[in-house]
Amino acid sequence: MGKNYCKIHKIDDIEVEISATYETNRYYQTEIVLYDIDLQLCRDISKKVSFTVYAKTDTKYMTAFDCIIMRTEFKDLDNVGNARNRKVCITASEVTYGNRYFDKDDRIHELFFKVTDGTELLGLIPYEIIDDKIEYNKNIVIELQFPQLYANLDNENYCFSVFPNRLYTYNNMQFEFMHNITYSNTQGIVWGEIRDKIKKITSLLEILCGEIVTSIDVRAKCNDDEFECIGLCNHPKLQLHHLQGNGIDSIGFLRKSIFKISDFKDLSEVISKWLNLYSKIDLSLKAYQLLLLDEDVKISTSGKFLKAMQLVEGYMTGLVFTEDYEQKSFETEKIRLMESLTDEAQKLFVNKYCIFVGQVFLKSLKHFTYEGINIINPISKSKFFGDHDKLLKKIRDERDIYTHASNRDLPKMNIIELLRISECYKSLYRICILNRLGMDKDIIKTRFGLDNYFSAYIEKLFDYNIKTHCFDTGEFDKKMWPFSETPR
C-alpha cells in the first residue's frame, strides 16, 4: 500500500520528536519504522507489553494503539560501542486518522461502518429502481426515496441504509449503490468497545447468509470530530470475501436463499433479542465462525464435524439447559454418599474422581435437532424420536469417538457423511436462531427450501423433503433477478 512519512510527537506519555515511515499491510495492521531513536527510549518502550504512538502525517493526526516492537536494527557503532543509526520497527493493530489525536478518554457517540455485500444483506433497494427512473439524455435527473431501517433501544440506536452513488472517470459515469450501518449511543462508548459492537452486527449477518461477513470502512465520531479507523478489518479490501454460496447456483438463485435484514418485521425487537442471545450463545457462535472459516479456506476434515457438534452443545447449554437440575441432584447425591462412608481413603477417592461430566450430549442433540426440524417440518416429538433415535445415537457415538480420543473404537462414518452432517447442523443452527429472533416461519422454510445443499442433506439424513416450488421471496429478490449474472 506504499510507505508514507510522519513525525512522531509522543509515545504513551513521553514527548519525542522522531522521524518515521508507516504503511498498512495486507492484514490491515499498520507498520511504523522509527529512525535514529534514542537508545534509552528504545530500552524503555521495549519493556512495555504495548504502547500508543501519536504521530502527525502530511494531512492528519495518527494515533496508533497496541503497538509492539517487531525488531530493531543498527548500521554501525560509535567510538564507545553504542549503536548508531538505530531503526525500530513496530506494528499497531488499530490506528485512527483525524483532525486531532484520539485520546484514550474520548467517548464515541456514533460509529459508521460497511460490510461485505452489505447492499445484498440489507435487502432495501434493488438496482432496478435506477433503471426505472433514469432518463438517458444530457439532463439526468433521478428523484428517489430511500428507506432506512431503524432499531431503537434504551441508550443505543442502529440504522441500516442504502443510497445511490455516482462514479466518474475521464470519459465515463456509472451508478452504484452504497450502504451504511450506523450505531449511536447517547452515553458514548470507549475505544475498546468498538470491535465488540461491530462484531455483534457482523455475527447477525453471518447467521442471515451462512458465510463470513467482514466489516470495512469503519469511522468513529466523537462530538464533532470524525476518525477513520484502520485495523478493525483483517482482510485487504481488494480480496474481501463476497457471497459465494455452494457454486452450483446462479447469483440470482443464491440471493433467494439468503436472508435479509429487511425480512424482519420489527427490527428494534430483533436487535434487542439478538443482543440478549449473543451473550448466552457466545461459545456456539465462536464454533460457528470457525466452521465458516473452514468453509472459506476449503478445509474438509473431521474437525468440521466436531465444530458442528459444538454448535449443538453451546446452543443448548446457553439457551435450554440454563438451570442445571441434574448437576444439583448429582452434588446432593455425592454428599449423601460421602457421609455414608467411614473410610477416609474412600471419601477422598469419591471426592476426587466422582465428578459431574456435564449435560448428557445425546439429550442436547435430540432437543436441538427436533427444535430445528420442527420449524421447517412440523412433527410430534414421539414420531420424530421414534423415527430418528437410531441416527441421533449414531451421531452421538461418532462424536464421542473423536472427543474422548478412544483407542478402542474406530470412526464408523466416512468424511462424506461427516461433512453432510456438518452442513445440515450448521443450517439447523441458523434456523433455530432465526426463529428465536422472530423471523416468519414461512420465510425460513422458503429460503432454506431454495438452498440446494441443505434440502438435499436434510432429505438424505432425515427423509424430509423441504424443497419448495414457491420462489416468491419478496420484492427485492424479484426486482434483482435481471441483475443476477452481471459483474458484481
DSSP H/E element including 10: strand 4-11
Nearest to 260 by CA among 159, 147, 160: 160
- Residue 408: per-residue pLDDT: 66
- Which three cell numbers, joined as nine digits, stand for 57? 502525517
Separation of alpha carbons 431 and 111, rounded Å: 30
In this prediction, residues 149-153 reach a mean pLDDT of 92
- Min mean pLDDT across 115-124, 127-136, 412-421, 451-460 is at 127-136
pLDDT in tens, 164-187: 777 777 777 666 778 899 999 999
Secondary structure of residue 129 in the 3-state scheme: helix
For the segment 59-88, the average pLDDT, to the nearest whole number, is 78
CA distance 380 to 359: 24
Instruction: Give the per-residue pLDDT at 319.
Output: 83
Q: Is a pLDDT exceeding 50 seen at residue 138?
A: no
- pLDDT attached to residue 486: 46
Provide the pLDDT for residue 488: 42
Q: What is the pLDDT of residue 80?
A: 56
User: Which helix (DSSP H) or strand (DSSP E) does residue 89 occupy?
Assistant: strand 87-98
CA–CA distance from 183 to each of 110, 155, 220 (Å)? 6, 11, 10
% residues pLDDT > 90 (the chain) = 44
Q: CA–CA separation, 338 vs 406, rounded Å? A: 30
Confidence grade of residue 26 (pLDDT, cut at 50, 70, 90): confident
Between 125-134, 262-271, 436-445, the lowest mean confidence (pLDDT) is in: 125-134
Neighbours of 25 (CB within 10 A): 11
| Average confidence score pLDDT of the chain | 83
Backbone angles phi, psi at 113, to 5 degrees: -160, 165
- Note whether 205 and 121 are within 8 A (CB): yes
Is the distance from CB of 380 to CB of 342 less than 8 angstroms? no
State the DSSP string of 145-205: ---EEEEE-SSEEEEEEEEEEEEE-SS-EEEEEEEEEEEEEEEEE-GGGHHHHHHHHHHHH
> Residue 150 forms beta bridges with which residues?
159
What pLDDT does 487 receive? 45
Top mean-pLDDT range of 2-6, 208-212, 357-361: 208-212
Do 144 and 128 contact (CB within 8 A), yes or no?
Answer: no
Taking Cα atoms as reference points, which of 123, 189, 159 lies closest to residue 475? 123
| pLDDT interval class at 73 (50, 70, 90) | confident
Q: How far apart are CA 304 and CA 295, in angstroms?
A: 9
What is the pLDDT at residue 55?
96
What sign has the CA pseudo-torsion 378, 379, 385, 391? negative
Cα–Cα dist 133/144, whole Å: 8
Q: What is the pLDDT of residues 297-318, one digit of tens each?
A: 888 888 899 999 999 989 998 8
Between CA 465 and CA 454 the distance in angstroms is 10
Give the angle 450-199-359 at the CA atoms, nearest 5°. 75
Residue 30 has pLDDT above 50, yes or no: yes
Inter-CA distances, 118 with 207, 467, 488, Å? 14, 27, 12
Angle of helix 302-319 versus helix 415-436 axis, rounded to 10: 30
Grid coordinates belonging to 387: 423415527
Is residue 242's pLDDT more than 70?
A: no
Q: Mind listing the pLDDT tens digit for each residue in 354-381?
A: 766 545 788 889 999 999 999 999 999 9
The per-residue pLDDT for 412 is 85
Please tell me the total number of residues recorded for the chain in this structure.
488
**Predicted pLDDT of residue 202:** 94
